[in-house]
Amino acid sequence: MDISINLASRGRPESLVKTLDSCINSMNKPERADIWIKIDGDDVETAKAIEEYECPCSVYPIIGPQGRGYLDMHLYINSLLRRSSGYWQFGICDDTEFITHGWDNLLCNAEFRNHVEQEYGGLYIMWPKIVDTDMFVFMAATRKVFETLGHWGQRFWIDGWLGITGNKAGINMVNHQWVMKHLDVDDDVRKRTYEIKGSAYSERGELLLDANLVHLLHRDADRLIQAIGERQENTTFNMDIQPLWEALECQ
C-alpha cells in the first residue's frame, strides 16, 4: 500500500463523511490508499456511517475504548499505525478539507521516493500548508519513522512531537504545493483539552516541557538521527519544499 490515512473520530459522523469525501475526491488514484479510523465502542452513529460509506479504497474501523478522549489521541493513532502498512502514514482529523487535487501524486512520485530513500534513509516527514492558520497540524511520515520510534508521539500533541523530533533530525519538510484546511481547530473538545489542569500548553500557547518530556523528545530525535546515519544533502532536487523550522520562522 502506498498511503495509509489514520484518524480518530467520535460523535461527528457528518463531519467525518465530509472529510473522507474531500480526501478521496481530491486523490488522483484513491485505490492506492487505505483508511484506518479509531471509533469508540459506544459510538453507534459513527460506526453506522463508516459501515454505510462507499469508496474505491478500503476503510477499516477499529473499535476501542473511549479512554480520556482527545487527551489519548496519541494512543489511538499509535494503535492505528501498528495495523496500517502504507509506505506513507498520513495523520488527519475528522474536520479536514483537502484543497489540492492530486495530492497523492506528490507523495507517490517515484523520483521523490527515491530521493527520500537515498538522501534520508527512508525517514521523512512531509507537512502540507494549512490555509488560514500559522499551524502545522497534519503530516505524512514514512512508515520507517514509526518503525524507528515505535510511535508517533507519547502525548496527545503528536504533531508537536514529530515537529520537535523531526526538526532536530532534519527530516521535516513543508510542501507548499500541497494545501489543506483545518475546519474546526477551535472546537469545544480541543478547548476543553487544552484548558484542563496539567495541559501541555500555557495560556500563551507555549509548550510546557518537564525534564522527562525533554528527555523523551531528545531520545526520539537521536533515534532518528542514528537511523539516518551519514548522508549527503541533495541540493538539486526540484520540489517546492521548505524545512519546517524555516516555515515556522516565516509565520
Indicate the average pLDDT of the chain.
Answer: 85
CA distance 177 to 32: 20
Q: Tell me the mean pLDDT in the region 117-141.
A: 90
Coil, strand or helix at 88: strand
Q: Tell me the mean pLDDT in the region 72-78.
A: 94
CA distance 190 to 112: 35
Q: Tell me the mean pLDDT in the region 88-108.
A: 95
CA distance 217 to 161: 7
pTM assigned to the model = 0.86
Q: Tell me the mean pLDDT in the region 73-95.
A: 95
Give 206-222 pLDDT, tens digit per residue. Answer: 555 677 888 899 999 99
Most confident of 98-107, 156-165, 225-234: 98-107
Give the CATH architecture of domain 3-249.
Alpha-Beta Complex (3.90)
Q: Where are the domains of the chain?
A: 3-249
Q: Where are the alpha helices (DSSP H) in 154-210?
A: 158-169, 188-195
In whole angstroms, how far apart are CA 217 and each of 3, 147, 155, 192, 229?
26, 16, 11, 25, 19
Q: What are phi and psi of 60, to 5 degrees?
A: -120, 105
Give 30-51 pLDDT, tens digit per residue. Answer: 999 999 999 999 999 999 999 9
